[in-house]
Amino acid sequence: MKILKKYNPAFCGGIASGLLISIGGTVLLSVQNRVIGAILFTVALLSICKLNLFLFTGRVGFCAESFDAETFNTLIVGLLGNFLGATLTGLLMRLARPQIIDAAVTSCLGRLDNGILDSFLLGCFCGVLMYVAVKIYRGGSVLGIIFCIPVFILAGFEHSIADMFYFALAGMINPEYIGFILAVIFGNSVGSLVIAALWRFSVQSDNQRKE
């Protein structure tokens, strides 16, 4: 019971975040102008940050600042919540918005053509931008979200939670999908952690020079 109480915020917040990311993905697939869709997608991360919900890709980079077993467990529970929220929303959207299924299928087939290594690298670059977006937001500005999210979408970088939604909507949850999504999750994590570590070392070095 204590364990459930401890991780309930991450799990429930994770489900809610998966839902919100899926709404952003629905908008992206629904509009003809990809730039407008990418800009409107920002409503997802803006809502998640404002409501203090749990999004794996927005949290994992901060492990570079502080990491322990409880942090790791929270990340896994939150990621599971993200998966459930995004996948269930994708399945529901198959019923509610069947007209965008073809767009999701085309998008997912293109993603699978990238291969595991490319998917990992594209996930890394998305992870960099996700950390930057949330870091700037925590500093008191939404500009990071408004610019970083459209950039990663238009650049073709891979966001694991959004991809969970796309594949569920496309009805393409299969062994090939599992390999792809694991590569993207790992890529998002590595990209976020690397930029976070570089930022931290840069600030520490700058502070030492000033002293």
* Model confidence pLDDT, tens digit, residues 2-49: 555 778 899 999 999 999 999 999 999 999 999 999 999 999 999 999
Query: Encoding tokens for residue 203?
Result: 């600030």
| 182 pLDDT more than 90 | yes
Residue carrying the six token digits 């087939």: 109
**How confident is the model at residue 203, as a pLDDT?**
77
Residue 30 DSSP SS3: helix
Instruction: Please tell me which residue, 204 or 30, carries the higher pLDDT value.
Output: 30
Average pLDDT, the chain: 94
Q: Check if CATH label 1.20.1080.10 holds for domain 2-210.
A: yes
Q: Please state the domain extents for the chain.
A: 2-210
**How confident is the model at residue 90, as a pLDDT?**
98
* Model confidence pLDDT, tens digit, residues 74-108: 999 999 999 999 999 999 999 999 999 999 999 99
Whole-model pTM?
0.93
Q: 89, 199, 210, 182: which is closest to 135 by C-alpha?
A: 199
* Distance of alpha carbon 199 from alpha carbon 177, whole angstroms: 33
